[in-house]
Structure 1
Amino acid sequence: MSTHLIKLFTQPEQSWTEIRKEEEQKPRNYLPHLIFLGLIPPFALFIGTTRVGWSLAENETVRLSADSALLLSAMVYGAILLGTALMGVFIRWMSRSFDARPTLNQCIGFAAYTATPLYVAGLAALYPSRWLAVAVLMAACAYSTFLLFVGLPTFMRRKQEQGFLFASCVWAVGLLLLVTILVSAILFWYNNLSPEYLRGPLGG
Structure 2
Amino acid sequence: MINHVWGLFTHPEREWQQIRTEDESIRHIYLTHTLLLAVIPPLCAYIGTTQVGWTIGERAPVMLTQASALGMAMMSYLTLLAGVAIMGGFIHWMARTYDADPSLARCIAFATYTATPLFIGGVAALYPHLWLGLIVGTAAISYTVYLLYSGLPTFMDVSAEEGFMFSSSILSVGLVVLVAIMAFTVVLWGLGAGPQYTT
Task: Please indicate the TM-score interval, normalised by the length of the shorter structure.
Answer: over 0.9
- Any idea what the Cα deviations from partners look like across 1:41-73, whole Å, max 9, x if unmatched? 000000000000012342311100100000110
Q: 1:160 to 1:194 in 2, by over 3 A?
A: closer
Q: 1:157 to 1:169 in 2, by over 3 A?
A: same
Cα RMSD of the aligned pairs, angstroms, is: 1.5
What is the TM-score of this pair, normalised by structure 2?
A: 0.93
| 1:80-159 alignment runs, 5 A limit | 80-159=80-159
Q: 5+ unaligned residues in a row in structure 2: which ranges? A: none
Paired position in structure 1 for 2:73:
73
Q: Is the 8 A contact 1:75 1:185 kept in 2?
A: no
Q: 1:96 to 1:128 in 2, by over 3 A?
A: same
Paired position in structure 2 for 1:202:
none
- Cα displacement (A) at 1:20: 1.1
Higher strand share: 1
| 1:17-96 alignment runs, 5 A limit | 17-22=17-22, 24=23, 26-28=24-26, 29-31=28-30, 32-96=32-96
- Cα displacement (A) at 1:194: 4.5
- Cα displacement (A) at 1:179: 3.5
**Percent identity of paired positions between Structure 1 and Structure 2:** 45
How many residues get paired? Answer: 196
CA distance in 1, matches of 2:84, 2:61: 34
What is the TM-score of this pair, normalised by structure 1?
A: 0.91
- Cα displacement (A) at 1:4: 0.4
- Cα displacement (A) at 1:165: 1.1
- Cα displacement (A) at 1:174: 1.3
Q: 5+ unaligned residues in a row in structure 1: which ranges? A: 200-204
Q: Is the 8 A contact 1:189 1:195 kept in 2?
A: no
